[in-house]
């Protein structure tokens, strides 16, 4: 399943106020990107395909450019995104010497975030012996520490409409970035299977 986070850029982004979040959900509804709300999530609306990059229409059917659900999440304290990570672990490099780190110590450090603040979690680089905070790691894929994000579950692809993402960011006063839960190369086999499933059920 291709899940995406739309999260603020930067480590110290504030949580938007209730009025800003309400303006965002009203925009999503008015534009037809989402429709009914149930169990804490929005269903895709009649114009859900507009969420994706216009070039995607060249290689996808309109019915494939959709998602299963969209959630607007506000957390009491910053959380590391993506919350659900690849089974092989996130790949990162040392911010001091640039050497690649093994995924296991990085994942162990991320697991400690459940009971420690991010400032107290670190990883030691085996090459240069630098003790790195998580913010001193260079991750292979986009990541964020955030108290607010949009979670797009079961998206057709990860390339979103940049202008639309910018507009959503302006509504909440933040610069939003797209964070894939699974790197694109890991879902190449999954996307054609999803297309076949939808064509058979259609």
Pick from 142, 134, 151, 160: nearest CA to 49: 160
Mean of pLDDT values over 46-61? 84
CA-CA distance, 119 to 99, in Å (whole number)? 22
pLDDT exceeds cutoff 60 at 202: no
As given in the structure block, the two tokens for residue 162 are 């940049």
pTM for the whole thing? 0.82
* Tokens 């297309």 sit on residue: 195
What digits encode the pLDDT tens for the residues 67-85?
999 999 999 888 889 887 7
Read out DSSP for 105-174?
HHHHHHHGGGTS-GGG-EEE-TTT--EEEGGGEEESS--EEEEEEEEEES-S-S-B-HHHHHHHHHHHTS
What digits encode the pLDDT tens for the residues 21-32?
999 999 999 999
pLDDT exceeds cutoff 90 at 119: no
Mean of pLDDT values over 77-96? 83
pLDDT exceeds cutoff 50 at 135: yes
């Amino acid at each position: 399943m291709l899940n995406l986070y739309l999260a603020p850029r930067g480590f110290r982004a504030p949580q938007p106020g209730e009025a800003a979040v309400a303006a965002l959900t009203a925009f999503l509804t008015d534009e037809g990107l989402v429709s009914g709300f149930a169990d804490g999530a929005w269903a895709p609306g009649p114009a859900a395909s507009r969420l994706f990059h216009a070039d995607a229409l060249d290689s996808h059917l309109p019915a494939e450019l959709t998602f299963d659900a969209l959630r607007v999440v506000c957390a009491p304290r910053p959380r590391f995104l993506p919350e659900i990570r690849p089974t092989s672990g996130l790949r990162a490099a040392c911010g001091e010497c640039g050497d690649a780190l093994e995924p296991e110590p990085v994942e162990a450090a991320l697991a400690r975030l459940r009971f420690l603040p991010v400032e107290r979690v670190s990883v030691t680089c085996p090459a240069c012996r630098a003790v790195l905070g998580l913010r001193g790691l260079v991750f292979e894929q986009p990541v964020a520490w955030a108290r607010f994000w949009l979670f797009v579950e079961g998206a057709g692809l990860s390339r979103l409409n940049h202008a639309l993402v910018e507009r959503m960011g302006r509504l909440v006063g933040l610069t939003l970035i797209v964070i894939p839960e699974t790197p694109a190369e890991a879902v190449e086999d999954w996307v054609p299977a999803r297309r076949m499933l939808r064509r058979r059920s259609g």
